[in-house]
Amino acid sequence: MAITLATVATTPYEGQKPGTSGLRKKVKVFTQKNYTENFVQCILDANGAALTGSTLVVGGDGRFFCREACELIVRICAANGVSRILAGQNGILSTPAVSSLIRRHKALGGIVLTASHNPGGPENDFGIKFNCENGGPAPDAFTNKIYALSGEIKEYKIAEGLAIDVSKVGVNNYEVAGKPFVVEVIDSVTDYVLLMTEIFDFDKLKDFVSGKSRGGQPLKMRIDAMNGVTGSYVQEIFVNCLGAS
């Protein structure tokens, strides 16, 4: 199917005011007609001219609606002049992982799909926030700009026919409006673990966990990921890298 750029007429929704932790609402709110599209378009518009040719990171905590929102955001970004998207496999990236990817790949920012500790599911919460090029949360001046735009939005842009499957790791190349557009679906854990190995001495930590450096028994520890996005990171770091069992 050919990729076509569409400009879709819309009307504002009240209350799309993001805080430091972004916009959090019930899933039923985000899945209203054009609700998510409006908010994402306002995030992109708030970046101004810097958006054209930029790289953005997209991912979240894996809660209900995360994957669908991720694929929708990719299509909106494609229509708004973004050149490259780094997306977590299945739309999953922890917030610290998004921050590390932004900095490592010199991205303009990242769209994070999370409502933090709020319960997930079709009857519960979803959230979207923007992290800036330093990897940190958007400052008040930026979120205020998003809110102002959300009150006057009349249209959003989307690349119709752009087929993307974020369940498959790999590089996907497209041509959108005569320009290259790249979606790189990445392993959700790899880059973050690489950052951790650059910050901490994993060899010494492994010896500590095994008991080798202490001349005793392996370290006993209990880690509760609380059904959160960190589960896969815990598995890779503590089990695969540090040798815990």
Tell me which residues are annotated as active site: 116
| Distance in Å from the first CA to the final CA of the chain | 48
Give dist(CA 190, CA 217) in Å, integer.
29
Helices 190-199 & 95-104, crossing angle to 10 degrees?
A: 80
**DSSP states of 41-107:** HHHHHHTGGGGTT-EEEEEE---TTHHHHHHHHHHHHHHTT--EEEEEEEEE--HHHHHHHHHHTT-
Q: Estimate the share of the chain in helix, then strand, then coil, as percent rounded to the nearest 5.
A: 35, 25, 40
Give dist(CA 49, CA 54) in Å, integer.
10
Tokens 């002049």 belong to residue:
81
CB 62 within 8 A of CB 70: no
Q: For residue 208, what is the enclosing H or E element?
A: helix 202-210
Give dist(CA 38, CA 41) in Å, integer.
5
CB 41 within 8 A of CB 76: yes
Q: What angle do CA 127, 118, 90 make, to 5 degrees?
A: 55
